[in-house]
Structure formats: structure tokens, C-alpha cells
Amino acid sequence: MKRRFEHAIMDSNVGYFFYHRELEDYPPNFLDEYVHQAKLYTELLGGRIWVVIPDYPADYIKNGVQTPSAKDNVERTLRNIKRLIDVDGVEWLPVIQSRLRDTFSFAEACQRTAEIIGEDYPRVAIGTVCKSRRLKWITYCIKFARRHFPKSHIHAFGLTLTALPHVKDYIDSWDSMAWTFPRTPWLSSCHTKLEAEEYFRAYLRKIEQKLKASSMPSHAFRV
């Protein structure tokens, strides 16, 4: 295994459970097995692996309808944070969720998350901006979270490049699968290692184009 990286994120694969399978909750005993796996990877990679505390999204829509996981998604996300945050031996990454594009819900979720983990917790993620194309919503969530967690490493899930120039000064990292698709229209997603490398380089060039001459911190290029 190549280990030339600063940090990696172990995710709970919410898309598989709540979008593709349209489940309302994680499978039975999932959290216990998840913690076991988290500790195994931590033993292997040390503090360089950050483990997402399994959350519940409200922004998965299928056929115009929210998937079942949106039911009480904030309460259940906070429940998992309370259950796992004090489990030793893992660098946890709590996720802030909210009701679908609900500013008051996000504000309350930030406050309640801070009450559980503290405003100086080393790292926190924003799940509500994932794949969203609503710039006003994205900037609101990220700026509000930064006010609540001024010293934390803030990771934005699924951030679009359109939003990046507007929030670059408020986040420390983001992830995206957009680089697996070509920058040139009508080409397919990458299928080979060579294509993946070419697409990723093209994605980095796109980032540079979006940011132009802005003074973006180098650490924010963690995609």
C-alpha cells in the first residue's frame, strides 16, 4: 500500500445505503463493525486517517422525493456523534447535517454539534453542501460553520468548483468525484489508470482557472 499522503478520510458510504439502496437507517450492528474497522485502519495508518462519524443526509432526492434517511436526519446524526465521539483510538470527523436547505436547521445543528464536541474540536465536516449547486446555501453553511468552529479543520463534502472561489478562505479541505469525469464534453468517465491521471491533471487546471490569481492557501488543494 502506498502511504504518501497527509490525511485520508474513511467514509461511511452514505450514498450506497441511503441513495442507491434507499434505506432509512444503517444496517443492524453497522456502527459496531464500523468502529472495529476504524480502529484497524487507525492501527495501520495512525492519526493520518480521519474517520467520518456516520451521518444521515437530507439532500438525497430520487424521482423528486427525499430518500427515507431524511427522516429526523439531524437528530440521528447528533445521536451518532454522541455515541462515538468519546470512543478512544480513532481520529473522528463529525459531520454537520441539517434539514433540506433549511438555514435555521443548519444553525441549530452547528450549535448542538459544538455543545457535544466543543468549538475547538480539531476537525469537523459539512455534509449539507455535498453536490449542491445552490451557491447561496453553500456559502451560508460554510461561513456559519467557520464562525462556530474558528480553530477547527473544516472539510466540505462534495464541493463544486463553482463554489470554491467563494468559500476558499473558510475551509481547509474538500473532496469531489468530479475529477473522474473529463473536462472535455462527451467523453466517458475514467476507466484506466492513465485516464484517471489525465482527468485529475485536467481537474487541477480547472481549479487554477476558477481561482485565477487568488491567493489560495496550498493546503486547500486537498481534493
The reported pLDDT for the residue numbered 3 is 59
Instruction: Give the residue extent of every domain in the chain.
Output: 8-176
Indicate whether 191 pLDDT > 90.
no
Decide if pLDDT at 2 tops 60.
no
Predicted confidence band of residue 41 (pLDDT cuts 50, 70, 90):
very high
The Cα 107–Cα 38 span in angstroms is: 29
Q: Which CATH superfamily is domain 8-176 in?
A: Queuine tRNA-ribosyltransferase-like (3.20.20.105)
Q: How confident is the model at residue 221 (pLDDT cuts 50, 70, 90)?
A: very low
Percent pLDDT > 90 in the chain is: 71
- Mean pLDDT over the full length of the chain: 90
Instruction: Select the more confidently predicted residue: 110 or 218.
Output: 110
The whole-number pLDDT of residue 218 equals 42
Q: What are 79-100's pLDDT values in tens digits?
A: 999 999 999 999 999 999 999 9
pLDDT at 222 over 50: no
Dihedrals phi, psi of 49, to nearest 5 degrees: -105, 125
What pLDDT is stored for residue 215 in this prediction?
55
Higher local confidence (pLDDT), 69 or 221: 69
Nine-digit cell string for 4:
504518501
Residue in this structure with the C-alpha cell 449539507, named with its chain if needed: 128
CA–CA dist 112, 41 (Å, integer): 29
Higher pLDDT, 184 or 192: 192
Alpha helix ranges (H) inside the chain: 14, 30-45, 73-84, 103-117, 135-148, 164-167, 193-211
pLDDT average, residue stretch 43-51: 94
Q: Distance between CA atoms of 85 and 91, rounded to whole angstroms?
A: 9
The residues, ordered by sequence, that sit 6+ positions from 39 with a Cβ below 8 Å of its Cβ are: 89, 90
Q: How far is CA 128 from the centre of its chain?
A: 8
- Classified as helix, coil or strand, 99 is coil
What pLDDT does 223 receive? Answer: 38
The model carries a pTM of 0.89
* Whole-angstrom distance, CA of residue 206 vs CA of residue 157: 18
pLDDT of 190 reads: 86
The whole-angstrom separation of Cα 146 and Cα 170 is 6
